[in-house]
């Protein structure tokens, strides 16, 4: 029966358009099959238009690249005609010296895969890329890339062969232009293609610009072995013999057949063996025989314990210079922070070691001060250690006086000091006195010096019935004093519990009122904790509270399972201790949801819920509520499907309802002159799960359209209908070899179709002749030309040529106007062919196409031949337009009190700039003119001139001191010279003097030390404390401690035995 129906349907479809349509037999699919094949086979043949899912075996895929798809019965039979295609895997390919340039991993039968060779490698036919094809038995071949070298850049030379690329180990012969020769003096040469490219570049040089051996210099030589011939721009480096230093540039350069000016070697002054106080050289005994040594040598040295180098380390390097050893004082005395303990204070610096004469700051804790009353102080690191041990003593500041005054003028007071005070007239202390004393203690003053107006004090506070004060009453209370009251048991306080003393009187006191007692509480659905123990104590007074609990499904008014019940004047609170509850989990809202976060609801509490869009409550609202009652929720919420009244277009409803339930029907009728899409004037729509079955829309019958207009050599993409509604659109398509002109769509408007498109025959394209490239599979494709516009073919470009997109291959497209692109293959130049001395390429591209410019930049201090910091070269048919070069230059320097004698803005390496000083000015050497030279590091010196009247002679001499540097005859303005005093003399003033307006600033003084002699000590029967020296030197400001000799007693004050040296004078103590 099913087979008969299928045959009848097939015949009906065949006859529908008056022509026979051939049915499709069961499809026999090679390398695959239909899904559910055995069940489907009895229903064949089938009518055109039918589609069936099918699968492909392993290593085969559908034309779309999947393992399954649909096969379609068409007028011409089954489509696709070959359902399952052979595949090849990308993982089966290994490209030696190359890589696969596509992302696909599986390729179907006859599909090509593209591969590329690494830079410097090519395919067997010399291309940078190639392809292999997926065949029935797998890939057509295994790809390989072999080493090659491109034609190199020739400089002043030419190749002797015409090849464009060369394989590994190939030789390329070249010859020099007339008048040029190789670096070895030959006019011809050969280079070999190796793994790293050509063995060398085929470069020739102008023979007249070469140089001979570099010039010799006294006490020096070149670092490299001299050659007979040097190429232009070659450089040679010089070095001096031991004990000599280089003056001038260490390099000479070959230019125009001559060497630049060589440097000179100057003898350096030697240094004797360094005698280091409080330290020594490492390996001293081994090194001593090699002294004296030349300037420039450095040696490691160490410092003894409690001494450090100027850099703060226990070792460093000492350097021999033209002016002697540096540092001049290698080891400096140190003091340790750990030797200090600040009583009642702390060190306010982070350093742990301090060098000689370095101060260290310390601070006292709050409430403490130094001996001179400051909050901080300092001690100094001296030759014998710290100048003193810091101490901070307790102090009290002057306190705040209230209605009183101090009887002394001191500003701060030490521990246990007493401060007397007196009250103003009419005032007295809290104890009734007009005077008093306070003592400075560890916690500050013993009390504040405060006095009160005697007329504003109060007597004892007033008594109250059934209550009393919390504190023992006093005879007298100070103004603003407060006293607290309390009631006896069973009484409660009414009014403020405090009274205040003001203007000699107390404020109104509170009253104590008898409280009504509470009986034992009977709690429904709960009870008191420890009920049996508590019951005997009832009734209880108001103010008592007891903990209680609620049974399951009941809670306290605060929502907890327990709380406190309170006895008040009006009875127990809360009045209903336990309230019934309902749970949110007991509710399930069909087609809706609960819109609140609470999970438990107490008695009479409402819970809100909402319906999903398209649903409503039984009374038609989008939300509703239910209430928690004694027996649970008042109802189970429900949301039912509804449809709102739809939008009517050119129609009206035949009923008045506002909303409709699931499966309800709404009848409508069209306005006069309008009808439905099916030609009726009335209709019905049904409320379903997804809303209304359709919209109640009617159309003006005069605005509908018939079938769309036919066009020559084209047709509509969809089967035409008898009637189309207003604003309907239909799409057209053209037959093969025709192209669409105009919009591909027509629109129905006011009963008519818009203008349909036309199908125009496309002009064919002949076979494309591609210069420097060709079509892939050229021989196979040539017989099919000419071809229609719209066709595209893959093509490749030869070595050193690329497509306009920059690739070695692309597609060429046949258009109405011919082939695009018009120039498929463009000449390229390689970034690797360029070497910029003293510069760099400022772009990231590595390949440049014909007429494309490449930008380059020079390093700082270098410029192009025309003086710019950057330039460009262009890719031409024969390669780059030029090799870029950057030459050394110096900008015009800053001229100070001088002018240049030439107008140039920039200068090349070794150029000289002459300058002259302004009138009344001269150079540091006393000349009015000078020259500066452009070198590798810039100008040899700055062209600076100085006012001759502002120079200074030698710095002024001072007694017992000298300058640290050897004095010169002349010093420039703002020059600075440093002084140092002789041993034990102390420098007073700045250690530096400065030359300004021809005069030196005020020099320092060296203060005399004190000389403590045995003779003076014997005269006074004293000796040094802790020292046995017979003669002792002390700097000004130093404290020297003395003691009486054995059998003698002090005849002067104790303080005199700590004598201070001041500018060479010391007052000795005396013992008798």
Task: Give the containing element (helix H, strand E) for 287.
Answer: helix 284-287
Domain contains 750: yes
**930 and 840 inside one domain:** yes
How far, in Å, CA of 950 to CA of 920, rounded? Answer: 10
Tell whether 344 is covered by a domain: no
Q: In sequence order, which residues have a C-beta less than 8 Å from that of residue 533 and are 6 or more positions away?
A: none
Report which secondary-structure segment, H or E, holds 355. Answer: strand 353-355
Same domain, 782 and 882: no
Sign of CA dihedral 726, 727, 728, 730: positive
Eight-state DSSP code of residue 473: P
Query: Does 1015 lie in the same domain as 1035?
Result: yes
Q: Are residues 325 and 218 in the same domain?
A: no
Predicted local distance difference test score (pLDDT) of residue 206: 83
Cα torsion through 86, 89, 92, 98, rounded to 10: 120
The 10 Å CB-count burial string (b at 16+, else e) for 911-933 is bebebbbeeebbbeeeeeebebb
Task: Decide if 401 contacts 421 (C-beta within 8 A).
Answer: yes
d(CA 302, CA 290): 19
Residues 476 and 510 in one domain: yes
Q: What is the pLDDT of residue 15?
A: 39
Cα 921 to Cα 927: distance, rounded to the nearest angstrom: 9
Q: Which helix (H) or strand (E) covers residue 1015, if one does?
A: helix 1014-1019
What Å distances lie between residue 668 and 277, 644, 676, CA to CA? 119, 15, 10
Distance CA(244)–CA(218), nearest Å, equals: 10
Q: Which of residues 948, 963, 984 is at a domain's end?
A: 948
Q: Are residues 1001 and 1037 in the same domain?
A: no
In a domain, 582, yes or no: no
Within a domain: 962: yes
The number of domains in the chain is 11
Does 964 share its domain with 978?
yes
Contact 264, 217 (CB under 8 A): yes
Give CA 349 to chain center in angstroms: 35
Same domain, yes or no: 792 and 835: no
Domain holding 814, by residue range, is 773-824
Query: Which residue shows structure tokens 């605060």?
Result: 558
Residue 204 domain-assigned? no
DSSP of 547-594? EEEE-TTEE-TTSSSEEEEEEETTEEESSS--EEEEEGGG---BTEEE
Residue 428 bridge partners (DSSP): 452
Q: Are residues 815 and 897 in the same domain?
A: no
Q: Which residues 6+ apart lie within 8 Å of 96 measured at CB?
A: 144, 145
Neighbouring residues of 1: CB distance < 8 A, sequence distance ≥ 6: none
Q: Are 453 and 476 in contact (CB under 8 A)?
A: no
What end-to-end distance do the CA atoms of the chain give, in Å?
Answer: 154
Same domain, 733 and 782: no
Residue 903 lies in a domain: yes
Can you give the pLDDT at residue 20? 54
Residues 6+ apart with CB under 8 A from 84: 29, 30, 31, 32, 56, 57, 60, 61, 62
Distance CA 413, CA 449 (A): 15
DSSP symbols for 698-760: -EEGGG-B-SPPP-TTEEESS---S-B-TT-EEEEEEPTTEEEES-SEEEEETTEEPPPPEEE
Q: Read off the CATH number of the domain in which 17 is found.
A: 2.10.70.10
Q: Measured between alpha carbons, how far is residue 194 from residues 128, 149, 160, 673 in Å?
A: 18, 8, 19, 91
Does residue 77 form part of some domain?
yes
The whole-number pLDDT of residue 242 equals 64
Q: Is residue 389 part of a domain?
A: no
Q: Which residues pair with 778 in a beta bridge?
A: none
Task: For residue 867, give the DSSP letter.
Answer: S
Give the Cβ contact number of residue 255 at 10 Å. 16
Q: Are residues 884 and 974 in the same domain?
A: no
Q: What is the DSSP letter of 971?
A: B
Residue ranges for the chain with pLDDT beneath 50: 1-19
DSSP 410: -
Q: Is 305 exposed, middle or buried (0-12, 13-18, 19+ CB in 10 A)?
A: exposed
Distance CA 922, CA 896 (A): 11
Q: Are 507 and 468 contained in the same domain?
A: yes
Q: What is the Cα–Cα distance from 610 to 208, expressed in whole angstroms?
A: 101
């Amino acid at each position: 029966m099913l087979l008969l129906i299928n045959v009848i349907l097939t015949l009906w479809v065949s006859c529908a358009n008056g022509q026979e349509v051939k049915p499709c037999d069961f499809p026999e699919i090679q390398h695959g099959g239909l899904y559910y094949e055995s069940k489907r086979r009895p229903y064949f043949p089938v009518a055109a238009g039918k589609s069936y899912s099918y699968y492909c075996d392993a290593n085969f895929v559908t034309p779309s690249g999947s393992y399954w798809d649909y096969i379609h019965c068409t007028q011409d039979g089954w489509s696709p005609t070959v359902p399952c295609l052979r595949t090849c895997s990308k993982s089966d390919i290994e490209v030696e010296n190359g890589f696969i340039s596509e992302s696909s991993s599986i390729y179907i039968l006859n599909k090509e895969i593209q591969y590329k060779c690494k830079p410097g490698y090519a395919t067997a036919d010399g291309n940078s890329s190639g392809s292999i094809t997926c065949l029935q038995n797998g890939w057509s071949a295994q790809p390989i890339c072999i080493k090659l070298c491109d034609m190199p850049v020739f400089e002043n030379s030419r190749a002797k062969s015409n090849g464009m690329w060369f394989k590994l180990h190939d030789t390329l012969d070249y010859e020099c232009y007339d008048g040029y020769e190789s670096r070895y003096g030959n006019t011809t040469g050969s280079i070999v293609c190796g793994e790293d490219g050509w063995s060398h570049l085929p470069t020739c040089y102008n023979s007249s610009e070469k140089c001979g051996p570099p010039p010799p210099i006294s006490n020096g030589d070149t670092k490299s072995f001299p050659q007979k011939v040097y190429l232009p721009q070659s450089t040679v480096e010089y070095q001096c013999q031991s004990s000599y230093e280089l003056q001038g540039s260490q390099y000479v350069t070959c230019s125009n057949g001559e060497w630049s000016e060589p440097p000179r070697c100057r003898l350096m002054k030697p240094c004797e063996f360094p005698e280091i106080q409080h330290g020594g050289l490492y390996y001293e005994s081994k090194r001593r025989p090699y002294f004296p040594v030349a300037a420039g040598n450095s040696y490691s040295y160490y410092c003894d314990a409690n001494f450090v180098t100027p850099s703060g380390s226990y070792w460093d390097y000492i350097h021999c210079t033209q002016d002697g050893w540096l540092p001049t004082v290698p080891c400096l005395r140190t003091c340790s922070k750990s030797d200090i303990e600040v009583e009642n204070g702390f060190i306010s610096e982070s350093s742990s070691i301090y060098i000689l004469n370095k101060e260290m700051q310390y601070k006292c804790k709050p409430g403490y001060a130094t001996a001179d009353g400051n909050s901080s102080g300092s001690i100094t690191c001296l030759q014998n250690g710290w100048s003193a041990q810091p101490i901070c003593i307790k102090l009290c500041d002057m306190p705040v006086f209230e209605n009183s005054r101090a009887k002394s003028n001191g500003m701060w007071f030490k521990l246990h000091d007493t401060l007397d005070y007196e009250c103003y007239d009419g005032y007295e202390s809290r104890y009734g006195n007009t005077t008093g004393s306070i003592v400075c203690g560890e916690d500050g003053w013993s009390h504040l010096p405060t006095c009160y107006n005697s007329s504003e004090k109060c007597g004892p506070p007033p008594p109250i019935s059934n209550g009393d004060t919390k504190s023992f009453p006093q005879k007298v209370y100070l103004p603003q004093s407060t006293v607290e009251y309390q009631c006896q048991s069973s009484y409660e306080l009414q009014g403020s519990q405090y009274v205040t003393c003001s203007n000699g009187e107390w404020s109104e006191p509170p009253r104590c009122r008898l409280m009504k007692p509470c009986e034992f509480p009977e709690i429904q659905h709960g009870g008191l904790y420890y009920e049996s123990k508590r019951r005997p104590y009832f009734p209880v007074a108001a103010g008592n509270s007891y903990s209680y609990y609620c049974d399951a499904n009941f809670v306290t008014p605060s929502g907890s399972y327990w709380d406190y019940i309170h006895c008040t004047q009006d009875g127990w609170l809360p009045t209903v201790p336990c309230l019934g509850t309902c749970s949110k989990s007991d509710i399930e809202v069909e087609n809706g949801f609960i819109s609140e976060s609470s999970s438990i609801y107490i008695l009479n509490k409402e819970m809100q819920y909402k319906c999903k869009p398209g649903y409503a409550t039984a009374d038609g609202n989008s939300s509703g509520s239910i209430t928690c009652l004694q027996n649970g929720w008042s109802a189970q919420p429900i949301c039912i499907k509804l449809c709102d009244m739809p939008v009517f277009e050119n129609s009206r409803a035949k009923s008045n309802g506002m909303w409709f339930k699931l499966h309800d029907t709404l009848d409508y009728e069209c306005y006069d002159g309008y009808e439905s899409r099916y030609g009726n004037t009335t209709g019905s729509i049904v409320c379903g799960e997804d809303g209304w079955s359709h919209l109640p829309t009617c159309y003006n019958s005069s605005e509908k359209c018939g079938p769309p207009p036919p066009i020559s050599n084209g047709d509509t993409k969809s089967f035409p209908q008898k009637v189309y509604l207003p604003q309907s659109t239909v799409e057209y398509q053209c037959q093969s070899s025709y192209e669409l002109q105009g919009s591909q769509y027509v629109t129905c408007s006011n009963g008519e179709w818009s203008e349909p498109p036309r199908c125009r025959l496309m002009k064919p394209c002949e076979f494309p002749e591609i210069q420097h490239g060709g079509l892939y599979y050229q021989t196979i494709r040539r017989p099919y030309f000419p071809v229609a516009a719209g066709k595209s073919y893959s093509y490749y470009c030869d070595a050193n040529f690329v497509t306009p997109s920059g690739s070695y291959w692309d597609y060429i497209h046949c258009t109405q106007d011919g082939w695009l692109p018009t120039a498929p293959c463009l000449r390229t130049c390689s970034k690797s062919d360029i070497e910029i001395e003293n510069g760099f390429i400022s772009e990231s591209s590595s390949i440049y196409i014909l007429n494309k410019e490449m930008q380059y930049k020079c390093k700082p201090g270098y410029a192009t031949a025309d003086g710019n910091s950057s330039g460009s070269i262009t890719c031409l048919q024969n390669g780059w337009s030029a090799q870029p070069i950057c030459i050394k230059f110096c900008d015009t320097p800053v001229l100070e009190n001088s002018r240049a004698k030439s107008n140039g803005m920039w200068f090349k390496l070794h150029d000289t700039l002459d300058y002259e000083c302004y009138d009344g000015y001269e150079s540091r050497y006393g000349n009015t003119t000078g020259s500066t030279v452009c070198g590798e590091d810039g100008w040899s010196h700055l062209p600076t001139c100085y006012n001759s009247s502002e120079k200074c002679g030698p710095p002024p001499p001072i007694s017992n001191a000298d300058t640290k540097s050897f004095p010169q005859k002349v010093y420039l303005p703002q020059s600075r010279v440093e002084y140092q005093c002789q041993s034990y003399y102390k420098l007073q003033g700045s250690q530096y003097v400065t030359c300004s307006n021809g005069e030196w600033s005020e020099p320092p003084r060296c203060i005399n030390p004190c000389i403590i002699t045995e003779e003076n000590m014997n005269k006074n029967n004293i000796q040094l404390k802790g020292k046995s020296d017979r003669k002792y030197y002390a700097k000004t400001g130093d404290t020297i401690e003395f003691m009486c000799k054995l059998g003698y007693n002090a005849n002067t004050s104790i303080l005199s035995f700590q004598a201070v040296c001041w500018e060479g004078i010391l007052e000795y103590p005396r013992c008798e």
